[in-house]
Amino acid sequence: MTTAQILQTGSVPLSPVPWRISPLDGTIFWPALYVAVSTLVAAAALVVWRIYASPASNIPGPAMAGATAWYELYHWLVKDDWYEHLQALHDRYGPVVRVGPNEVHFVDHQFCLRLHNRADLLKCPTYYRPIRHLLGGITDPQRYRQRKALMKPLFRGETLSVYASGTMNNLVEALQVRLLSGAGRGPTNLTHLLWAFSADIMTSYISGEAVGLGKLEGQALVAAHEATRPYGIVHLAAIAHSVPLLMQAVDAFPALKRLTVIGWADKLASTYLTSWGKGESKEKNQASRNNLGIQLADRLKDKYLAHEEMTDIILAGAEGLLSNLIFLIHHMAQSPRTMDSLRAELDHFSQNSCHGRQVWKDSGLLQLEYLDAVVRETTRLSAPWWHRLPRQSSTPVTYKGQIIPAKVSMSFTLRMLERDPTIFPDPEMFIPERWLHSNPDARRLKATSVTFGVGNRICLGYDLSQQVLKKALACIVQELDFTICVPEGGPGYLGTYPTRNKAVSLVAELRPRSV
């Protein structure tokens, strides 16, 4: 048919279809059916093997936990009860229970402390999949030590000392001024203010310049808080280590991170490294000495890796500081006796300090025993309920006659250990005195605290966090009295890490301190 005939008739001749999907023609149907059936059979065989024949199959626990990592994900996203469910599993199955295809969880924390202090243990590659390239997620202990040696000087010594005596003190003073300005003016949302302070601390330490959240007021502060703390980061972590395809997609398309709850920190880290490797002028190079991100890229010889490390440091540091600060305020308000003892120590110290009542500017503040005890006790109680520490041994481990095969992950949950009555008597009570030198068990307790890590895997930000917490607490209790507005249903604000349907802020009535 010619073009003219097509235009005249308005029809187009159709060629016969060379194939068709039909039960009578197996060109497409039968191969597709074979692939589908083979996939289902292989999946079923894998599930059966995991439950009955895999290395961890001899450990008691629910069959579904052994079958798939989605068992945990179900209790995160659907039931929203993972921590409570984990406790129930131990009540049913005993001190060691299987919680995943290749992971067993312990509540025998004395055993865990002995085990996790071994320097040869590997980190669980599945659990730490989201940060496997970063210091906190490197599985091999030798590679970890090499990376730590490169990064450690940036969080110790002169670097930290210069920051603490300058920018940190300025931010602490700005926080005190901000809180005093709101005293006597009605309820103050301390979660918003303390988050702004924590984010400014971490961004200024990494870049040399605070992001400036602490300068915001009113709705601008609220909007900034909501934009930088979306409620879901804990659930995102659970999804990431349960769904390998998600991390593969992120690895292939790093820009996807900008669409998640960590997007704000990812963008900041990117801006901090824009000048790296561009041959800047001497003046700009001098200014960039305060930018730890550039120094980190120089040490790692990898801009992308430095970017990822910075994002993780900003997020983990800011959330960790906020959590501890909220617990500090809560327990100070709930324990007048502790408040009086701490103020007595600070007042006595201020009388001999060249900084007077601005005691946070005096480096001797860090050596005050009762202040240290208060911070340690708060750190213990604020240990995250959602984080556990899974490790693997290259050789089998024996637990009470039971063999844990090599490369099976063995974990414990931070909050469960820090509230174990066999380690900490009256674990739910706020008792700073347990950490004082006068307590014969104080040294043992300090050796068992794991909130900042265990063995040779200790958080690099430990010293930074201790200085921030002690300075911030001192500046607040020196000048302010406060009464917490406890919401109906109890202090939900203590669930400090943002999770689904649990957005409760710490709100308090502030007053200038009465003598």
Bridge partners of residue 22, in order along the sequence: 25
From residue 287, alpha-carbon distances to 175, 203, 280, 290, 291 in Å are: 26, 16, 10, 6, 8
Torsion of CA 77, 80, 83, 88, to 10 degrees: -110
Give Cβ neighbours of residue 181 (< 8 Å, ≥ 6 apart): none
Distance of CA 112 to the CA centre of its chain: 21
Residue 270 host element (H or E):
helix 263-272
From residue 246, alpha-carbon distances to 256, 313, 511 in Å are: 10, 22, 49
The first and second tokens of residue 428, run together, are: 């739910």
CA 402 – CA 408 distance, rounded (Å): 13
CA 223 – CA 358 distance, rounded (Å): 32
Bridge partners of residue 123, in order along the sequence: 391
From residue 497, alpha-carbon distances to 135, 215, 339, 385, 436 in Å are: 22, 23, 25, 10, 29
Beta carbons of 280 and 286 less than 8 angstroms apart: no
Buried b (16+ CB within 10 A) or exposed e, 126-151: bbbbbbbbbbbbbbebeebeebeeeb
From residue 219, alpha-carbon distances to 192, 226, 230 in Å are: 11, 10, 16
Q: Alpha helix (H) ranges present in 301-412?
A: 303-334, 336-351, 369-381
Beta carbons of 449 and 418 less than 8 angstroms apart: yes
The first and second tokens of residue 166, run together, are: 């300058």
In a 3-state reduction of DSSP, which class is residue 316? helix
Maximum pairwise Cα distance, the chain: 106
Which one, of 414, 392, 400, lies nearest residue 94 by Cα? 400
- The verdict on whether residue 459 carries a ligand-binding annotation is yes
CA 486 – CA 409 distance, rounded (Å): 40
Instruction: Return phi, psi of residue 120, to 5°.
Output: -95, 0
Looking at residue 203, its amino acid is T
The first and second tokens of residue 93, run together, are: 């199955």
Annotated binding residues, written as ranges, equal 459
Annotated binding residues for heme, written as ranges, equal 459
